[in-house]
Structure 1
Amino acid sequence: MALHGLRPDDPAKLGPYELRGRLGAGGMGVVYLGFGADGQAVAVKTLPGSASADSRERMRREARLLGSVDFPRVAGLVAADTDAGTPWLALAYISGPSLLEATKPLRDAPLRQFAHGLAEALAALHEVGITHRDVKPANV
């Protein structure tokens, strides 16, 4: 995923994580690249302070359910909390380009292998009750 600079209104830190840039943003909030004191990179997913009670409950549920997923193709939950009214989840950061950023088309066999792995990851999420709601090349 491409890293974009922090905006003036972005926090410099959430929980124990120093934020170094934005990985993405959408209707549900912003995802930042963060680093813990141990140097571990994480993707910090946030909701805006104005998020509804329903959105906050969905994020708490996501954290609870993600904590029970142990699958190699799913970015696992590292931590979750609220900082100054901003709920956040820290997920294992997987470096490298997204499918959207891939520099060349995948050939048939690697494409089938990739699609199979994605289907397995989504199935692992579904087994614990998580529906990914935003599967697209930029998020894979």
Structure 2
Amino acid sequence: MNLNTQPGLMRERSFPRAFHTVAAARAFARETLTAWDVTDRPADIVLCVSELATNALRHGVPRGRTYRLRLLNFGCCLRVEVHDSGPGRSRILGRPHGNGLRIVEAVSDLWGVLPRSPGKVVWAEFRSGEC
């Protein structure tokens, strides 16, 4: 991953509670990765953006609220965060149609959930081989 050239960068955007915004979140992520010259694993990163945004819409964004996509470049690690204001904690469940976090777990190097008030932040990290 070509991240070491621009450490300490952050971009974020809020999206309304509507499923068509998942495509806009993916486009924002692709635009950011291109601007940051991220050349390793962009498809995995965008896939995680898609899954995390979809999960936020399905389970974490109350009516009239938004979710926020934040991308952070720590130099040798890129982090995707999706912030929502809904209750509960994201976790992998054994339900049909519940594979979004399994996909995130499979393609990212690390993922997790942090509480916020209100809601939570679900994040995934992608590390460079240089870390």
**TM-score, normalization: structure 1?**
0.31
Rg larger in structure: 1
TM-score, normalised to structure 2, is: 0.32
